Structure 1
Amino acid sequence: MEIVKSSKIPPANGHYSPCIKSNGMLYLSGQLPIDPATRKVPAGIEAQTDLCLQHVELILEEAGCSKTDVVQMRLYISDIDLWGKVNERYAKFFGDHKPVRSILPTRELHFGCLIEIEAVAELPE
């Protein structure tokens, strides 16, 4: 098992690793839409979804993967009514690649965020 760290995303504040390589797989902790430069959360679900997906992509690249290596995504949203807009941004990000996915409506997310995204990817051989 190897912890993957990235200087391009906000550091983990809790007792967890942002990303771990294990047995040919890459596991990404939930990514919140926090801008690493300002430490602020952008307004609106579209901007927040895009920022979470950018964080995912940066970590994937740091670990030697790309978004086409993603096999599973889990998206937590604070309101089920956001599903349509989230799905639109998600589809634009992935294009033809369709990893398995769950969208889970939750109650409030940390820092008032509207979305949090975690991922699992297969490491290239």
Structure 2
Amino acid sequence: MKMQLHNPENLFPPYRNYSHAVQVNGSASLLFISGLNGYLSNGIDMPEGFEEQAELIWQHMGVILNAAGMSYAHLVSLRFYLADPSYDEANVKMLMKYLGSHSPARTVICCPLLDKRWKLEIEAVAAQ
């Protein structure tokens, strides 16, 4: 599988850890990951802070990717739901921690989330 980033020079510059589009060429296995939240292993409790919830979500995503024989490097699209726009910088720092220079297509949406405790929800698509 070959991934090609599309960040045309005549568009605005891409944000950190972002590509305007990611094209997957060849025969690929696609993995669609449902919106993940920062629940602890009991599925009931979660930490209160954004960073702690985000850390758990990225760990959960890593487990799912691994179960599919993939890694964070296989992510081609991410959709973030932030409960408050003030979490954006912390979200970008978490992206940089887990993805390094890998830059999948991504969208950030600020909105009320289903559970008032949730600070963040992440959906993902990975390809191999």
TM-score over 0.5 for the pair: yes
- Is the aligned partner of 1:86 residue 2:91? yes
TM-score by length of 1: 0.75
Deviation digits for residues 29-63 of structure 1, max 9, x if unmatched? 00010011473111211111111111111100001
The residue correspondences of 1:46-57 to structure 2 (distance < 5 A) are 46-57=51-62
Alpha carbons 2:81, 2:109 under 8 Å: kept: yes
Structure 2: unaligned runs, 5 residues or longer = 1-27
Q: How many Å separate the matches in 2 of 1:74 and 1:38?
A: 22
| 2:60 maps to 1:43 | no
1:119 aligns with 2:92: no
1:92 CA displacement: 0.8
* Matching residue of 1:34: 39
Higher relative contact order by CA 8 Å / sep ≥ 6: 1 or 2?
A: 2
Consecutive unaligned residues of structure 1, counting only runs of 5 or more, are: 1-22
Q: Do the aligned partners of residues 111 and 81 (structure 1) sit closer, same or farther apart at CA in structure 2, a change above 3 Å counting?
A: closer
Instruction: Find the counterpart in structure 2 of residue 10 from structure 1.
Output: none
Aligned residues: 101
Q: Which runs of 4+ in 1 moved over 6 A?
A: none
Q: How far apart, CA to CA, are the structure 2 residues paired with 1:50 and 1:98?
A: 19
Larger displacement relative to structure 2 (103-112 or 60-69): 103-112
Asked if structure 2 preserves the Cα contact closer than 8 Å seen for 1:70 and 1:120, the reply is yes
Q: Displacement of 1:120 after TM fit?
A: 0.1
* TM-score, reference length from structure 2: 0.74
Amino acid at match of 1:70: L
Which letter does structure 2 place at the counterpart of 1:116?
Answer: E
- 3-state secondary structure, aligned to 1:112: coil
- RMSD, aligned α-carbons: 1.5
What is the correspondence of 1:66-81 to structure 2 with a 5 Å cutoff?
66-81=71-86
Range moving further from structure 2, 107-116 or 90-99: 107-116
Larger Rg: 2
How many percent of aligned residue pairs carry the same amino acid?
Answer: 31
